[in-house]
Amino acid sequence: MQVIRTIKDLRSWRNEIGNSIVSLVPTMGYLHEGHLQLVEEANDQSDYTVLSLFVNPLQFGPNEDFDKYPRDEARDFELAEKAGVDVVFCPTSDELYGEEPSVQLIVTKRVNVLCGKSRPGHFDGVVTVVSKLFHLVQPHVACFGLKDAQQVAVIEGLVAALDFPVRIHRVATVREADGLAKSSRNVRLSAVERDMAPIVYEALCIGKTVLTTGGSANAAVETVRNKLADSAQGVFTIDYVEAYDFPSLTPDIQLNGEVLLAVACQFENARLIDNVLVQLPEKR
């Protein structure tokens, strides 16, 4: 496995491998089995897998956890190598962004809801870094986790809007045995919070049942919200519980369509997000 830190070295590696099939797995590091599942699926579809490790300052708001985001490069290299990654690209922020940019990308669709609403500018930062990675790595395939379902929808919009010749491969959420979605931020939960955190997925599953048994999106949202509110005991607060058509992220839920039921909860030192995607039955 090669570790590449500069744009120059990445470009020369990319030129060397020519027409080989390349996949890209963009991450912020502190790898866990969710990331490794992306790598496994990337390996299956390409000759070379590039994993980027970069905590992107542009996608964090001023009062968010950029400084406290967990980082451990040596551990990430070891896990990446074991998983079969060919190249780890881990630039510094200066290397990637240099001086103040003269062009800015702004996402105009699918961001007035969910994390786009509670984290203004977040997805502008995401599409900026992902666009740069697409230009540098020139992947044929890029893997993204449905744990961040809004991110998948926004990136698919980016590819369509800017004509990137990249296929987006969606990867299902990897969970702990008790249902908690794997996340780099889980290490920042206290013991009491970690015990309580599986309620997020439990509540989503109850909401899913409401939808699959003919209940409305509003009924599912209310069910999830009530379950979370009844369980919170002051340990976390609910940021949002929302349901939208996927991937349009509009409230216009289609018969026979797919519904994204999504939650964000704020614990003391970690904001956790999770969701379920529900295929609606033909007849309701």
Would you say 144 or 280 has its CB closer to ligand AMP? 144
140 is catalytic: no
Question: What is the closest distance, in whole angstroms, from the C-beta atom of residue 172 to ligand AMP in the complex?
Answer: 7
d(CA 142, CA 26): 8
133-172 residues in contact with ligand AMP (CB under 6 A) are 144-145, 147-148, 171
Question: What is the closest distance, in whole angstroms, from the C-beta atom of residue 280 to ligand AMP in the complex?
Answer: 23
Would you say 13 or 69 has its CB closer to ligand AMP? 69
Span interacting with ligand AMP, options 112-120, 182-190, 204-212, 251-259, rule CB under 6 A: 182-190
DSSP string, 102-130: S------SS-SSHHHHHSTTHHHHHHHHH
Question: What is the closest distance, in whole angstroms, from the C-beta atom of residue 121 to ligand AMP in the complex?
Answer: 16
Would you say 151 or 223 has its CB closer to ligand AMP? 151
Q: Beta strands of 101-208 (E only): which ranges?
A: 141-145, 167-171
97-126 residues in contact with ligand AMP (CB under 6 A) are none
d(CA 155, CA 150): 9
Q: Which helix (H) or strand (E) holds 241?
A: strand 237-245
d(CA 141, CA 138): 9
Among 46, 183, 186, 275, binds ligand AMP (CB under 6 A): 183
Q: Is 147 helix (H, G, I), strand (E, B) or coil?
A: helix
Residue type, 124: D
Q: Classify residue 149 by its DSSP letter.
A: H
Would you say 42 or 280 has its CB closer to ligand AMP? 42
Among 10, 14, 22, 34, binds ligand AMP (CB under 6 A): 34
Question: What is the closest distance, in whole angstroms, from the C-beta atom of residue 168 to ligand AMP in the complex?
Answer: 10
Among 23, 37, 46, 275, binds ligand AMP (CB under 6 A): 37
**Active-site hit among 35, 122, 140, 169:** 35
Question: What is the closest distance, in whole angstroms, from the C-beta atom of residue 71 to ligand AMP in the complex?
Answer: 11
Would you say 170 or 225 has its CB closer to ligand AMP? 170
Torsions phi, psi for 217 (to 5 deg): -60, -40
Count residues binding ligand AMP (CB under 6 A). Answer: 17
Question: Which tokens sit at 130?
Answer: 């992902």
153 close to 161: Cβ distance less than 8 angstroms:
no
Among 28, 36, 204, 260, binds ligand AMP (CB under 6 A): 28
Torsions phi, psi for 255 (to 5 deg): -55, 135
CA dist list (Å): 262 to 67, 114, 122, 148, 243: 26, 8, 17, 10, 6
Residues within the interface to ligand AMP (CB under 6 A): 27-28, 34-35, 37-38, 144-145, 147-148, 171, 173-174, 181-184
